[in-house]
A = this chain, B = another copy of it.
Amino acid sequence: MNYNQLVENIKRKRSFLCVGLDTDIKKIPAHLADKEDAIFLFNKAIIDATAPYCVAYKPNLAFYESLGVEGWIALEKTVRYIKENYPDQFIIADAKRGDIGNTSKMYARSFFEHLDVDAITVAPYMGEDSVTPFLGYDGKWVILLALTSNKGSHDFQLIEDKDGKRLFENVILTAQKWASTDQMMFVVGATQGKLFEDIRAIAPKSFLLVPGVGAQGGSLEEVAKYGMTDDCGLLVNSSRGIIYASQGEDFAEAAAAEAKKLAEQMSTLLPA
- Which A residues have a C-beta under 8 Å from some C-beta of B? 22, 24, 60, 62-63, 65-69, 72-73, 76, 94, 96-104, 106-107, 109-110, 114-115, 123-131, 145, 148-157, 159-162, 167, 170-171, 174, 211, 216
Contacts and interface: CB of A to CB of B under 8 A. Distances in A.
Contacts of A126: 96, 123, 145, 148, 150, 152-153, 157
A250 B195 CA distance: 58
Contacts of A76: 68-69
Contact of A150 (B63, B69, B130): B130
A124 B156 contact: yes
A99 B152 CA distance: 10
Contacts of A73: 69
A68 B156 contact: no
Given A129-B151, A161-B161, 15 more contacts: A24-B106, A67-B110, A68-B72, A68-B114, A96-B97, A96-B126, A98-B123, A100-B150, A123-B125, A124-B155, A125-B125, A127-B154, A127-B155, A156-B174, A159-B159
Contacts of A159: 159, 161, 167, 170
25 contacts: A22-B103, A60-B103, A62-B97, A66-B109, A68-B110, A68-B114, A69-B72, A72-B72, A100-B148, A101-B150, A123-B123, A123-B125, A124-B125, A124-B156, A125-B145, A125-B148, A126-B150, A129-B151, A129-B152, A156-B170, A159-B159, A159-B170, A160-B161, A160-B162, A167-B167
Nearest to A105: B62
A65 B127 CA distance: 22
